Amino acid sequence: MTVRVKLALLYGVLFLVAGAALLGISYQLVAHNLPEQTVAAASGSDVLLRAGKLAKTADVPASDREVLASIEALPPDKALEAAKAAPLSAATARALLAALPTEVRSDALHQLLVQSAIALGVMAVVSVVLGWLVAGRVLRPVTRITETARRLSASNLDERIDLHGPDDELTRLADTFDAMLDRLAAAFEGQRRFVANASHELRTPLTIMATELDVTLARPDASVDELRHMGATVRTAVDRSDRLITSLLALAQVEEGLDVTQTTNVAVLAREALARHETQLAERGLDVQTQLEPFVVNGDPGLLDRLLDNLLDNAARYNVDNGWVRVTTRPEAGVVEVAVASSGRPIAAEEVDELFAPFRRLEARTGSQRGMGLGLSIVRAIARAHGGTATAAPIAAGGLCVTVRLPGADVDQTHGCPDQTNPSPALET
């Protein structure tokens, strides 16, 4: 049984119950306001009419019926006097001369009850039909939602219900469904774009390796130096593929959730990450300053370590020679702010958030299309997996400040990144 049929039957039953209650109340009010009356016969014609009616009544004695028949045979001018002098029982005499309106009242109430019951039955059927029509109109948006959902697929998420009407529950349901479709379409589009970019990034080193091998092997007289050059090029391409696959695996691992959760001091992880990148930072001649205040968070130490590695790698890779890098960990209201700021090329404020998109590289920052564009994507994914956030802000003199906020026991998000225009002498060097 469909919802429409159920609603139609429900409307019919409710109308029938309400109509029966109204009929009962009306019957009692009419009976109360229509009291019994006694009206004496005024003429011989009245007597003749009453005598004929009483003679057909079953509860009248046989002797009274004979008298009534004799009265009914008299002319109207003699019927009234004959009735008054007739040997009738007291009940029959009262009915003949004074009690006829009581039967009229009973007949009127009976007719009211019968005719009202017939009208109630007819209106109950009409209410079911009207309920069917009203239910169909009310459920029309639900039908549209169902038909739209049935037509949708992963490759066809552009349809919308677009329901117009009053701001009621069904309109809000349709709007919520459309918003969900917008999010699904964006997610599928992002997934397709991610797969396409990953395929392209993986295909590039494979193409380089295949080209080097084909060119070198096509020359039977290739020298040792040429073979060594081929091997070095292939090795570089293999390393690039390895880094890309490692980054993709890390991103997938973060999106699946945390496997390990333990207390970790962020300042200790930052010092260890700085030690690992010491050579890379020194090769660029970067002035490194730190202000590391201890703060313990609950999370995966390996992923947090990867977060700091990515931040420092970006700060060194996309910096300028003889520039600066500033690393701070600053507890504030139950949240630790891990900020890595670095000098570099100027970046437009409206382009900063694009740096967190997978495979997104800004030439304004990198000066080229080198790199894989996954570093900050992994940073944001790790931060969100730990219940935190990752944001970035351009530095007026050129460069970028990336701030990661990780909650401790008392989650209270803060905002802001320290001014990194000029180095601060308060920082450790």
d(CA 326, CA 400): 11
Q: What is the pLDDT of residue 324?
A: 94
Residue 291 CA: distances (Å) to CA of 12, 299, 309, 416, 426: 76, 22, 17, 16, 8
d(CA 11, CA 17): 10
d(CA 238, CA 226): 18
The residues with which 328 forms a beta bridge, in sequence order, are 291, 339
Q: What is the pLDDT of residue 345?
A: 87
Q: What is the pLDDT of residue 418?
A: 45
Q: Burial of 269 by CB count in 10 Å (0-12 exposed, 13-18 middle, 19+ buried)? A: buried
Residue holding tokens 């970790």?
Answer: 264
387-396 CB burial, b ≥16 within 10 A, e <16: ebbbbbbbbe
3-state helix, strand, coil in the chain (%, to 5): 60, 10, 30
If the chain, 429 residues long, is cut into consecutive pieces of 10 residues, what is the mean pLDDT of each piece?
82 88 86 62 68 75 80 79 78 69 66 86 88 84 79 71 76 83 76 66 76 83 83 82 72 66 88 90 92 88 86 90 93 88 88 77 49 74 87 90 81 42 41
Q: What is the pLDDT of residue 222?
A: 80
For residue 241, what are its two tokens? 């593929």
Helix (H/G/I), strand (E/B), else coil: 386: coil
Helix (H/G/I), strand (E/B), else coil: 5: helix
d(CA 323, CA 286): 5
Work out the angle at residue 154's Cα, subtended by the Cα atoms of residues 153 and 157, and round it to the nearest 5 degrees.
Answer: 70
d(CA 317, CA 399): 12
Q: What is the pLDDT of residue 366?
A: 47
H-assigned helices in 56-99: 62-72, 76-85, 90-97
Domains of the chain: 3-140 (no CATH), 262-407 (3.30.565.10)
Residue holding tokens 């437009």?
Answer: 348
Q: Which amino acid is at 238?
A: V
Q: What is the pLDDT of residue 421?
A: 42
DSSP state at residue 382: H
Q: What is the pLDDT of residue 328?
A: 94
Q: How many Cβ atoms from other residues are within 10 Å of residue 171's Cβ?
A: 15
The residues with which 332 forms a beta bridge, in sequence order, are 335
pTM over 0.75: no
Residue 321 CA: distances (Å) to CA of 10, 110, 325, 359, 396: 80, 108, 11, 25, 18
Q: What is the pLDDT of residue 369?
A: 44
User: Are 318 and 346 a contacting pair, CB within 8 Å?
Assistant: no
